[in-house]
Amino acid sequence: MPFLKKPQTTEPLVKVWDKKAQKCGLHHTVYSVNGDQYSGEWLDNKKHGKGMQVWKQAGIIFDGDWSCGKRNGFGLLAKFDTEKKEYVRTYAGYWKNDKKEGAGTYFYGPSAFYEGHWSKDQRAGWGRMEYENGDVYEGQWLEDKHHGQGVLFLANGNRYVGMWRDGKKNGRGKFLYLDRGQLYEGFWVDGVAKCGTLTDSEREAAPSPTIYPIPKVCLLDPQSVLMEAQSYLTENDEKSTIAS
């Protein structure tokens, strides 16, 4: 008589333990083999809700909102500074699908930062960037570059107001040379002024105004000019005599 194996009616212990191990709700710190760790909320074994993730090898900490295992919502990002021996804030703002999206501020250094809108981890939309050398750009961005209408304030006080494309001056714009009291208005192509006019603008208040040399004035034929003037005066005298 053949032996018939009865079908298993109970679930294997491996699957039972796996289900019990599924993280859901608020948990204490969960450590990974590579040293990473996460403290916060879970849903269906994925980071979901409020939580803080530490990437040990990269020296990065994220503290904020999560959704289905990805950073979504508002969050703070910090990186470990080897010189200061501490974590330094790098980004504060909104995220979507693990990338910077929406309004946020990114700190590039002690005095360099960007404050504005982001799209897929890149500066896009309206924003303000302060550079280490003291320059400031405020205007439109696209794919991490100046693109559209914007103003560039240089550290020496000079400024450009106009159109940009791919990070360069392109289109109509004005460049104000406050240091020498001049204003250039014209058309630009890839950062180079192609056609425009240069006029004085508050030269008296400029710290180092442009000095224009006085041109030498001379007549090509002074004798003929003198004779013409004498003839004009003689005719007027004759007319006056006849009238009297």
Q: Which two tokens stand for residue 148?
A: 């559209």
Q: What is the pTM of this model?
A: 0.73
Would you say 103 and 93 are in contact if contact means Cβ atoms under 8 Å apart?
A: yes
Would you say 78 and 60 are in contact if contact means Cβ atoms under 8 Å apart?
A: yes
The per-residue pLDDT for 26 is 73
Q: Phi and psi (nearest 5°) for 67?
A: -150, 115
- What does each of the 244 residues of the chain score in pLDDT, given as a tens digit? 455 555 556 777 646 555 555 667 677 788 888 999 999 999 988 999 999 999 999 999 999 999 999 999 999 999 999 888 999 999 999 999 999 999 999 999 989 999 999 999 999 999 999 999 999 999 999 999 999 999 999 999 999 999 999 999 999 999 999 888 889 999 999 999 888 888 887 766 666 666 656 555 555 665 675 566 557 556 655 555 555 5
The per-residue pLDDT for 201 is 72
Domains of the chain listed by start with CATH number:
19-90 (no CATH), 108-210 (2.20.110.10)
The per-residue pLDDT for 196 is 86
The per-residue pLDDT for 121 is 97
Find all residues with CB under 8 Å of 79, minimum gap 6, and list them: 59, 60, 61, 87, 88, 90
Find all residues with CB under 8 Å of 185, minimum gap 6, and list them: 173, 174, 196, 197, 199
The per-residue pLDDT for 2 is 53
